[in-house]
Amino acid sequence: MNKSVFKISNMFFGFLCIFILLFSCNKGNPNTLKKKVVFPNRTLIHANIITKDSGRITANIHSPLIEEYTTVDSPYTVFRKGLHLNFYQKGQEKPGYFQANWARLSDATGIYEGKGNVIIVNEKGDSLKSEQIFWDKKRKTVYTSKVVYLISNKGDSLKASNGLQGTDDLENYTLFNNQGYMYVDDKDQKF
- Quick check: 66 pLDDT over 90? yes
Confidence of residue 63 (pLDDT cuts 50, 70, 90): very high
8 band by pLDDT with thresholds 50, 70 and 90? low
What was the pLDDT predicted at 88?
85
Question: Has residue 146 got a pLDDT over 90?
Answer: yes
Predicted local distance difference test score (pLDDT) of residue 38:
83
Q: Which helix (H) or strand (E) holds 151?
A: strand 148-151
SS3 93: coil
Strands 76-79 and 56-69, by their bridges, are antiparallel
Q: Is the model more confident about 150 or about 182?
A: 150
Residue 37's pLDDT is what? Answer: 79
What mean pLDDT is predicted for residues 113-138?
Answer: 90
Question: What number is the average pLDDT over the span 80-106?
Answer: 88
Q: What pLDDT sits at residue 123?
A: 83
Q: Indicate whether 190 pLDDT > 80.
A: no
Mean pLDDT of 93-116: 90
- Report the b/e string of 40-78 with b at 16+ CB within 10 A: beeebeeeeeeeeeeeeeebebbbebbbbbeeeeeebbb
Q: What is the mean pLDDT of the chain?
A: 82
Instruction: Please compute the mean of the pLDDT values over residues 46-74 and round it to a whole number.
Output: 91
